[in-house]
Amino acid sequence: MRALRNAAEPITTARLVDVQEALLRPTTLADRTGLRHVQNWIGRHDNSPNGADFVPPPPELVPELLEDLCGFCNGDSVSPVVQAAIAHAQFETIHPFIDGNGRTGRALIAMVLRRRGLALRTVPPVSLILATSAGAYVHALNATRYDGPPEGPVANAAMEAWIAMFAGACTRAAHDAVAFEDRIEALVATWRTRLGSLRADAGALQLLAHLPAAPIITISSAQKLIGRNFTNTSTAIEVLVRARILIETTGARRNRSFEAVELIDAFADLERALASPSGNTHAEGPVRPCPDDLVEGPRPPHPLGSRKKRRR
């Protein structure tokens, strides 16, 4: 979305509201956007904050607190990772919306890192790693919320523990992202070998370059990607099908859909690894829902024969 793409744009309350609206627009919560004007709370009872796990600041303080947070996000007094960690914790503490706080708070991580010149092309999977350690994540966040001196030893110890956990998630996210990029580059190189000798301007090569970002295509969507007419695009797709790079998945004569199954497998393996605390599904299985746990119904045949067995 535009609010995340523009790294140079300052982080403001209006921009955070835009992000929240974009994230909730396709959901049943689309009518619950904007800053809250009522008290909210987390846990225990739906009709009263008594006994709640956490009660955020009252609504009349939200605009001022967000303005202060945005001022911090637009500075550079600390390292980008520390800044993103503190910003995320403070945003979740303010809890400025009725719904969508978690989604927007995770987006804020990417916004801060991008504004500081990190992760300009991708969104590192920091939030997925934190979700894998959900209990420790919630405990670390809650420890930063307490009634006492802001510079006291309890406050400092809690924030240091949270930043250490967040930094560890960032380190693993960067490592996993680089490993995934290497895997995709190797896969694309294998595909080029399968294609053999083609002219540099061949439509199949042009389309191949787009597959990592568009692993599921139709002839219509492929036309938009490579800027060719229906006939030339269809020919390019057929070349990729013959090379076992794409598989037709609908079985229809019209409105056909094609998948780069090996690429989708790579994404699924990454998601499963991110759902494992150790990052190794051989040693430790996923602890939250992930691909293969969610997929139902028949899968398309693997281009290289029997589909490889998933790591559990």
Q: Any idea where the domains of the chain sit in the sequence?
A: 2-174, 176-274
Q: Can 210 be counted among the known catalytic residues?
A: no
- Of 45, 95, 282, 302, which one is the catalytic site residue? 95
CATH number of 2-174: 1.10.3290.10
Q: Does the domain made of 176-274 have the CATH classification 1.10.10.10?
A: yes
Mean pLDDT, the chain, integer? 90
Q: What's residue 184's pLDDT?
A: 97
List the helix and strand counts (H, then E) for the chain: 12, 3
What stretches in the chain show pLDDT beneath 70?
1-5, 292-312
Distance CA 24, CA 291 (A): 23
Question: Do 212 and 188 meet the contact criterion of CB atoms below 8 Å apart?
Answer: yes
Q: What's residue 295's pLDDT?
A: 47
- The annotated binding site is made up of 99-106
- The annotated binding site for ATP is made up of 99-106
Q: What's residue 296's pLDDT?
A: 43
- pLDDT 10s digits, 171-182: 999 999 999 999
CA 302 to each of CA 125, 184, 257, 263, 264: distance values in angstroms, whole numbers, following the listed order: 27, 17, 15, 11, 11
Q: What's residue 23's pLDDT?
A: 96
